[in-house]
Amino acid sequence: MRKAFINSLTTISENDNRVMLLTGDLGFSVFENYREKFLDRFINMGVAEINMTGVAAGLAMSGKVPFIYSIIPFVTMRNYEQIRNDLCYQDVNVKIVGVGAGFSYGPYGHTHHGLEDIAILRVLPNITIFSPSDSVEVGFCMKKAMEIDGPVYIRLSRAEEKSLYENDGELMVGKGSVLKKGNDVVIFSTGALVHTALAVSGELAKKGIEATIVSVHTLKPFHIETAETLIKEKKYVITIEEHSVIGGLGSIIAEVIADAGLSVPLVRIGVPDRFTKEIGNQDHMRDVNGLSVDRIMRRIEELGLFT
Amino acid sequence: MIKEVELNDLETHAKNIRREILTMSYNAQSAHTGGALSCVEILVALYFKILQIDPLKPLDADRDRLIFSKAHDAKALYAVLAEKGFFAKGLLEGYEKTGGKLPGHSTRNCVPGVEVSAGSLGHGLSMAAGVAYAGKMDNKSYKTFAVLSDGECDEGSTWEAALWSGHHKLENLTAVVDYNKLQGFGLTKDVLDLEPFADKWTAFGWCVEEVDGHNMEDLVSLFSSTPFKSDKPSIIIAHTIKGKGGIPKYENEMSSQYYPPTKEEFEEIMENLR
């Protein structure tokens, strides 16, 4: 996804000389070509994300469109108050790009995991939150980020996921993309785990359960009616996300269900409310946190939803 | 050299602004009066002698920018902007009042002339650095000024911004610290000593000057000579007195951060500031 991001940013920068890339000393093997091509619009800000965010606000007030980039905790938490006050409160045109969604940096430890960003950012007014699941969605989110005159957060995973679309013709900001239709259950997922959700739907189909799969590439704004329509007349709703089970996609869907007064059981599958003690690669970390296809299927079976 | 008649004008503006600050403080029964009073001369010198600005074109692309980082002392900024003609003085009555337009911490474009929203300390210098950097990228001739409190030099973010501005040689950026030596709950030297203050800025790549922050002539002269060096950001450490020119209980007292004047004190000071 990082490659899709930098490719898209390169195209955007060729067409719009307001665009800049600020990085918190990251980007080895990814940003070299960009730096060479747009020397005066690339700034390695050093390991100083707070200043990076404030400087970006100042640049935006002066007509630039800065993209600020780092690993998720450093570009959303270290500088959180700058995001709140300098970017959102002032509603300035800065794009935040966080890499390492979920357990992308699995063995590095929790300092590098991106598990709470959606929860903390979606409470902020004026921000748009994108969480793409493949390179086509990345390109779409980047294109839309440029159309929005205000703060945008783009949550990227580290791996290069396979493409889910031929093009972005059907995608709309705020409305999840229906990748597959089924009448029994609807599964909302976001980011890289959309691929897991598709695999889960395959397993469910073997048991005679047909699932609708929705890729929620936009977490905010969130078009409630679209979600409501997808939820209605389903027996169950499932959310799958590589984020804390608190405050992310599962919470968004729970709010939709509660606000609309729907009476449909919801299963929120996300990272449990604890720090994972062991270390491992992304697949392992997902598995021990209940996010592998096997673990998700076991959870669904244990709940007895389809017996 | 500034002419005496001009100096008198500036002193008159300063007196008017002190009256407005104390009136806002009294009417709203607000805190943060001492730090507003300590930066009056700094703001008057900048707004009436230095900044290339047109109150009728507050968003002009080529204007000089003043980033007011010590936004808890917004009363001073509002009073100066009104005195300069950015908006009607009547709006000052809405300071910290329900239905008013002027929040206790200055907020971007709440009235014309307020460049940024601040209030959480340590945010302003980074934003000012971004504005200055963009000016250099675009070959603009505007200058950027940032007014900081001494207290916010406790914040690590201020020093991140200082390091970055020095590294990028932002000569079009000038910071002023209103060094009144009293912060929220003590003397700066007791709470978190900033000294040797000038040396710190020098070490971070800035060119430093120190000044009596209530001496209008010296302030104008220093501001006029920015950038001090062609390849460094400039910083002016303005030695000031918290509560300067206010009621007697204010000067050099921490209470000036918290207590508005009583009725008697207010009436007396208004008489004195005629």
A228-264 pLDDT, tens per residue? 999 998 999 999 999 999 999 999 999 999 999 999 9
Whether A39 has its CB under 8 Å from any CB of chain B: the answer is: no
pLDDT at site A159: 79
Give me the pLDDT at residue B2, please: 84
Q: CA dihedral defined by B157, B158, B163, B169, rounded to 10 degrees?
A: 130
Locate the DSSP E strands across B98-225.
144-149, 173-179, 182-183, 186-187, 207-212
Question: What is the value of ipTM here, to two decimals?
Answer: 0.97
- Predicted confidence band at A307 (pLDDT cuts at 50, 70, 90)? low
A55-91: pLDDT as tens digits: 999 999 999 999 999 999 999 999 999 999 999 999 9
Residue B196 half-sphere exposure toward CB, CA atoms < 13 A: 7
Only one residue has tokens 């939820």, namely: A231
Rounded to the nearest integer, the mean pLDDT of chain B is: 97
Residues composing chain B: 274
Asked if A47 has any chain B CB less than 8 Å from its own CB, the reply is no
> Average pLDDT, stretch B53-66?
98
Chain centroid to CA A79: how far? 18
β-pairing, A185-189 vs A236-244, is parallel
Best probe of the A interface among B68, B127, B138, by most A CBs < 10 A, is B127
Mean pLDDT of the region B99-118: 97
Give the rounded distance of the alpha carbon of B126 from its chain centre: 16
Dist CA B200 CA A36 (whole Å): 34
Measuring CA to CA, which residue among B43, B70, B77 is closest to residue B214? B43
Domains of chain B: 4-272 (3.40.50.970)
**B146 touches A at CB < 8 Å:** no
pLDDT score, position B1? 72
Among A22, A44, A55, the strongest candidate for a mutation testing the B interface, having the largest count of B CBs within 10 A, is A55
For the segment B247-267, the average pLDDT, to the nearest whole number, is: 91
The answer to whether the beta carbons of residues A132 and A217 sit under 8 Å apart is yes
Q: All domains of chain A, ordered by start, with CATH?
A: 2-156 (3.40.50.970), 177-303 (3.40.50.920)
Compute the nearest-CA separation of B14 from chain A (Å): 29
Q: Best of A86, A93, A126 to disrupt the B interface by mutation (most B CBs within 10 Å)?
A: A86
Q: What is the pLDDT of residue A306?
A: 67
CA dihedral B25, B28, B29, B33 (to 10 degrees): -30
Which residues on A lie below 8 Å from B116 (Cβ)?
57, 61, 86, 90
Strand runs labelled E in A103-151: 128-130
For residue B274, pLDDT beyond 90: no
DSSP annotation string for A140-185: HHHHHHHHSSS-EEEEE-SS-PPPS-S-STT-BTTB-EEEE--SSE
Task: Give residues with Cβ within 8 angstroms of B248, minimum separation 6.
Answer: none
Q: What is residue B22's predicted lDDT score, i.e. its pLDDT?
A: 97
Q: In terms of CA atoms, which chain B residue is nearest residue A45?
A: B164
Q: pLDDT at residue A24 above 70?
A: yes
Alpha-carbon gap, residue B3 to B1, rounded angstroms = 6
Q: Does residue B141 surpass a pLDDT of 80? A: yes
Residue B254's pLDDT is 87
Burial of B30 (0-12, 13-18, 19+ CB in 10 A): buried
Q: What are phi and psi of A101, to 5 degrees?
A: -55, 140
Mean pLDDT of A208-235: 96
Residue of A nearest to B146 (CA): A58
B163 to A59: CB separation less than 8 angstroms, yes or no: no
Answer yes or no: is pLDDT of A147 > 90. yes
Residue B129's closest CA among B172, B155, B165?
B165
Q: Which residues of A touch B156 (CB under 8 A)?
A: 50
What pLDDT score was predicted for residue B249?
Answer: 85
**Burial class for B61, CB neighbours closer than 10 Å (0-12, 13-18, 19+):** exposed
Beta strands in B27-149 (DSSP E): 65-68, 144-149
Q: CB A46 to CB B163 under 8 A?
A: yes
Helix pair B4-28, B263-272: axis angle to 10 deg: 170
For B221-246, write each residue's pLDDT tens digit.
999 999 999 999 999 999 999 999 98
